[in-house]
Amino acid sequence: MERRTFGNTSLEVSAISLGCWPFGVDWWGHYTDDAARRLMKFAFDQGITFFDCGDAYGNGRAESLLGRFLQTVGRDKVEVGGKFGYDFYSDPGDSASHRERKQDFSPRFLRFALEKSLQRLGTDVIDLYMAHNIKLPQFRDDLFAELERLKGEGKIKVWGVSLGPAIGWREEGIKALTDHNAKAVQTVFNLFEQDPGHEFCQVARACRAGVLARVHDNSGILKDKVRPDTTIGASDHRKFRDQSWKIYGLKKLELIRHYASDHGMTVHQLACQWLLMDSALTSITGTLLDEAEIKEAAQSVDKPPLSQAEMRQLAEDYARDWHLGEEAHPCDLKSSLDPAGHVRSSYVPPPVLLASP
């Protein structure tokens, strides 16, 4: 398994990581405690050592499961990712609901949430700690100062921001890196939704930080798991996608399939390899639902890299919506600054590109 660092930090993680979100909610089906730990162990046996978790995933359930797994393999052999910001203690929500819950990014709640997470995980340090779905109006200097204090106290090693839930929040990612010295940004980033992940990688490289890609599979399209007759259930997170995502995603899939076959890999592995071509991409935090998906992603790091000519062609086709017309354009990006709350998905050069090291 390839290993990468978050910029100029000393935190090194596996290039493929296991997202623990499915163990906290039933949006992909229910995982028993034993099934969840079995998948964690299988991922670990494939060389995956970075486990991306969050306290809001099942209101602590995913953390508790990960904590029990850590006891079986040894804390020093695993890198733990954590998230904070959702006050599910006072607003527990409904496990089947997709609504946003109360958030709190005060330094006081940060410390409270961290201590609770450490207890559930059974550890005294979280390797990567991220503000969960933070928005620009919630940025506050005392929050970032407190994160630095926690790092100095040895309770966290690296901190960053995890952006969502929908794709977007370009300003949040750039400001976190350039103005507040965050060392990690997690965002929706895949071959069919390249922005703002592309911009974040440019800024992260200049600021000596790293990027985490989530939804690397374009919600199943790039795993080759979606068909024209695929039904999206009421509890499925993909119900928020419009029909263009599926209709044109499947058309795009056929247009890129030859890249995978040319290199002897699946389209899922192509999706991973395309992301890993960028040196600022530290890890793919995959929503990997079974052993086959985990193995497929883990083996992608050993597949032949794409050529620069292929990367240029993929970039050109993406910029032209794969020549499929306006309806094939990626969905709008969410924005805290635009009065409409969203902007057209497109590449926007970062405001300042610092000299790369």
In a domain, residue 163? The reply is: yes
* H or E element that contains 205: helix 197-207
In a domain, residue 1? The reply is: no
Q: CA 341, CA 52: separation in Å to the nearest integer?
A: 28
Phi then psi dihedrals of residue 71, to 5 deg? -65, -25
Q: Tokens in use for 49?
A: 């050592």
Closest CA to 134 of 110, 169, 184: 169
Q: CA 226, CA 246: separation in Å to the nearest integer?
A: 8
Spell out the SS3 assignment of 258-315.
HHHHHCCCCHHHHHHHHHHCCCCEEEEEECCCCHHHHHHHHHHCCCCCCCHHHHHHHH
Tell me which residue has tokens 């730990």.
37
Indicate which CATH number applies to the domain containing 264: 3.20.20.100
In this prediction, residue 309 carries a pLDDT of 98
Strands (E), the chain: 3-5, 12-14, 16-19, 50-52, 79-84, 126-132, 156-162, 184-188, 210-214, 281-286, 333-334, 342-343
In this prediction, residue 212 carries a pLDDT of 98
Per-residue pLDDT of the chain (357 residues; tens, 9 = 90+): 999 999 999 999 999 999 999 998 877 778 899 999 999 999 999 999 999 999 999 999 999 999 999 999 999 999 999 999 999 888 887 755 556 789 999 999 999 999 999 999 999 999 999 999 999 999 999 999 999 999 999 999 999 999 998 999 999 999 999 999 999 999 999 999 999 999 999 999 999 999 999 999 999 999 999 888 887 776 677 767 888 999 999 999 999 999 999 999 999 999 999 999 999 999 999 899 999 999 999 999 999 999 999 999 999 999 999 999 999 999 999 999 999 999 999 999 998 665 544
In a domain, residue 160? The reply is: yes
In this prediction, residue 96 carries a pLDDT of 53
pTM: predicted TM-score of the whole model, two decimal places: 0.94
> Which residues make Cβ contacts (< 8 Å) with residue 282, sequence separation at least 6?
4, 5, 6, 13, 15, 184, 210, 211, 212
Domain with 86, as residue range(s), is 11-343
Q: Tokens in use for 311?
A: 């990367």
Phi then psi dihedrals of residue 80, to 5 deg? -105, 125
Q: What is the total residue count of the chain?
A: 357
Number of domains in the chain: 1
In a domain, residue 349? The reply is: no
In a domain, residue 348? The reply is: no
Angle between helices 33-45 and 291-300 (to 10 degrees): 20
In this prediction, residue 357 carries a pLDDT of 46
In a domain, residue 108? The reply is: yes
In a domain, residue 357? The reply is: no
In this prediction, residue 239 carries a pLDDT of 66
